[in-house]
């Protein structure tokens, strides 16, 4: 039986971070990428949307498949796909081919996130909450650090350099899995992951009130965050005049709040429980989004006016992401891959919807990003409190 260890936890932190590393390294390079392929400004945004779409949809299949075949073979196959797809992105001759390869990269990267979460549940069992929060901290640190590194790499060596860095990270992750990870799923389910039964499995999972609440809140919250992730490069670089390196440093400073929020969850989740932490987190996200909208409406676009309110959003998001995942996965020990896959899908579904809407609404100003950010944050707050309120009302005894 695989035992909890510091080495295993570090490996799972790296696996959890792989998807975000793949995105955050690339974002500062988007403007250079568009120039390299002689495409207009904003034409590279689909490269972000198709990644998160493939990243989310893939988890619906790979999570349950690992319940049947084991975590290790699915994870190794996914990492190999990731490395091949990233190499294809480097060799692409036009933006359309690059976007197609990026979609395949998302499919490979999703195996790392969903299976890292399932492995945490396998190994840490009922005490998985703090460990899940620590793995999310790895992802959030990458969101803070990778834009800075991506900006510096792009400035020095062009848009290909962040992709080479992604290949390096993916290669190290694959070697770690091959030589340091033994199978943790000791109760393989021969019926799990079968396409004909999969819809029924997810329907059964969603009968749980907590899964519905956490999944919808996570989807809208990540949609709010992704509107800024996807839209900030063109605003900070194109409208506020920052260099790629300066943008990376600024964005990294903003999202460092994610790490602070995740550390709070890691220390308090066993005491407060996932639902209370999500309630605090979603309130901070909504408050930061409203403040961003108010400052933008009253004073227009500015570096501080856009950046400072976002710290509230990132702190709240850092609390909410690990707490919502823990709240859905921990009670589902017998189908941890299924539950982790669905939560990953919900997270990426919110990001995909946000990215598609942002691309459709682009008008050369910062308003589409700010408005979408506010709408998604308000939807997350409303969904959490409405669903929780209905559940609490239903739980009360009928009046006589």
Mean pLDDT score across all residues of the chain: 87
pLDDT tens across 27-80, in order?
A: 888 888 888 888 887 788 788 888 988 988 888 888 888 888 889 999 999 999
**Rounded-to-integer distance, Cα 75 and Cα 78, Å:** 5
pLDDT tens across 259-313, in order?
A: 889 889 988 988 999 999 999 999 999 999 999 999 999 999 999 999 999 999 9
Residue 395 is predicted with a pLDDT of 43
pLDDT tens across 140-162, in order?
A: 778 778 888 888 898 889 899 99
**pLDDT band at residue 203 under the 50/70/90 scheme:** confident
Residue 151 is predicted with a pLDDT of 83
- The hierarchical CATH code for the domain 6-180+204-391 is 1.20.1250.20
Percent of the chain whose pLDDT exceeds 70: 95
Judged against a pLDDT cut of 90, whether residue 184 lies above it is answered with no
Residue 303 is predicted with a pLDDT of 92
Judged against a pLDDT cut of 70, whether residue 391 lies above it is answered with no
Residue 394 is predicted with a pLDDT of 44
**Rounded-to-integer distance, Cα 342 and Cα 180, Å:** 27
Compare 66 and 191 and report the one with higher pLDDT.
66
Mean pLDDT, range 375-398, rounded to an integer: 76
Lowest mean pLDDT among 173-177, 185-189, 332-336: 332-336
pLDDT tens across 239-266, in order?
A: 998 887 788 788 878 878 888 898 899 8
pLDDT tens across 5-25, in order?
A: 888 888 999 999 998 899 889
Residue 46 is predicted with a pLDDT of 83
pLDDT tens across 301-345, in order?
A: 999 999 999 999 999 999 999 899 889 888 887 777 788 888 988
Say if pTM beats, i.e. exceeds, 0.85: no
């Amino acid at each position: 039986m695989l035992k909890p260890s510091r080495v295993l936890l570090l490996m799972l932190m790296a696996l959890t971070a792989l998807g975000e590393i793949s995105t955050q390294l690339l974002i500062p390079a988007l403007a250079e990428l568009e120039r390299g392929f002689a495409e207009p400004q904003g034409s590279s945004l689909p490269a972000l949307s198709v990644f998160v779409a493939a990243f989310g949809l893939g988890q619906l299949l790979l999570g349950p498949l690992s319940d049947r075949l084991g975590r290790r073979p699915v994870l190794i196959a996914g990492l190999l796909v990731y490395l091949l797809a990233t190499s294809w992105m480097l060799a692409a001759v036009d933006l359309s081919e690059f976007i197609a390869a990026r979609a395949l990269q998302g499919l490979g990267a999703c195996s790392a996130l969903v299976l890292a979460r399932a492995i945490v549940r396998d190994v840490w069992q009922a005490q998985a909450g703090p460990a899940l929060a620590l793995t999310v901290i790895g992802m959030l640190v990458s969101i803070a650090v990778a834009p800075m590194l991506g900006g510096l790499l792009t400035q020095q060596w062009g848009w290909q350099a962040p992709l080479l860095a992604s290949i390096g990270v993916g290669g190290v992750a694959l070697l770690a899995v091959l030589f340091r990870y033994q199978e943790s799923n000791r109760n393989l389910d021969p019926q799990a992951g079968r396409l004909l039964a999969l819809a029924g499995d997810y329907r059964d999972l969603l009968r749980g009130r907590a899964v519905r609440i956490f999944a919808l809140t996570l989807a809208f919250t990540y949609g709010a965050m992704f509107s800024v992730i996807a839209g900030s490069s063109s605003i900070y670089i194109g409208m506020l005049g920052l260099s790629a390196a300066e943008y990376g440093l600024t964005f990294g400073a903003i999202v460092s709040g994610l790490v602070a929020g995740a550390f709070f969850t890691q220390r308090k989740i066993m005491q407060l429980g996932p639902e209370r932490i999500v309630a605090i987190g979603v309130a901070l996200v909504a408050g930061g989004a409203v403040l961003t909208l108010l400052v933008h409406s009253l004073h227009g676009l500015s570096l501080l006016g856009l950046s400072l309110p976002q710290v509230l959003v990132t702190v709240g998001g850092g609390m909410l992401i690990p707490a919502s995942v823990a709240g859905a996965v921990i009670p589902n020990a017998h189908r941890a891959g299924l539950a982790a896959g669905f939560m990953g899908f919900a997270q990426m579904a919110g990001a995909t919807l946000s990215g598609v809407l942002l691309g459709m609404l682009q008008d050369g100003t910062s308003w589409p990003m700010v408005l979408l950010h506010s709408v998604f944050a308000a939807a997350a707050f409303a969904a959490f409190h409405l669903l929780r309120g209905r559940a609490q009302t239903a739980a009360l005894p009928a009046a006589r």
